[in-house]
Structure 1
């Protein structure tokens, strides 16, 4: 698994695009796996900080329990225009690590946002990535950049 910083060092332009798409609307969708293996889609607010990808969740929420049981996830930015001509699309997949030492993260979060929940008010996860995808519309086609850990980046143009 690659940390966000490791991925970003390998593909800085793709990383900047993806971070920008997630920053455009703090709300994103995360797919997790239920106990029976069925997918669950939930809202989440991803946070790119200090070379890591983070997300806090309500303690004991279904998505948190899903990730503690099976750490695989997919994260999708909010796409607000159906044609995607304005900004594009971004997706990240990998595994989540339940993070119990929240003190430094919460201190940094407060310095950046002036919001500081109590440690018991959130389940914190740090995400490693195995796949990062961007999709942009160019003219009458689409350009898909797809990075996979160990394989690098592939560019596909679709008309």
Structure 2
């Protein structure tokens, strides 16, 4: 299992960028797999819990929600944070994709009911522009291969 904290320890600058994107207030979308294998997309909010290497990327699902049922049956997911400004073509901080497995943690604690999940991280991918803003940059991190990057015209 790879936690968000392990990613943060391995690549602190890349993790800081990813966290800024996840927390900027733009709607996030999670893709899960239905029982028949077809995809389902749902809006979602995420939180970073804990500190240091013990930090977990976590989220919840409302009681009886199909998203939670999907993840308990097949924990694979993909999460997407779209660019902040989609109206003028400005990628801003870029977009972010996170994939992995959702680990069910039991019922949510506190005033909200539902299911709690934490992320077993497989991949973090960022797409944005270089500093000159003339090339597309794709950076991705996996636990096995670390951080890699390509630039495209």
TM-score (norm. length: structure 2): 0.88
Equivalent-residue separation in structure 2 for 1:78 and 1:60 (angstroms): 27
Deviations 1:37-77 (A, max 9, x none): 11111000011121100001101201100000000011111
Q: Which runs of 5+ in 2 are unaligned?
A: none
Q: Any gaps of 5 or more consecutive residues in structure 1?
A: 107-116
Aligned-partner Cα distance in 2 for 1:96–1:26 = 21
Greater helix share, 1 or 2?
1
Match of 2:99 in 1: 93
1:69 equivalent to 2:63? Answer no
Is contact 1:84–1:137 with CA below 8 Å preserved after alignment? no
2:134 matched to 1:134? no
Aligned-residue Cα RMSD (Å) equals: 1.5
- With normalisation by structure 1, the TM-score equals 0.85
Q: Distance in 2 between matches of 1:26 and 1:59?
A: 24
How far apart are residue 27 of structure 1 and its match? 2.9
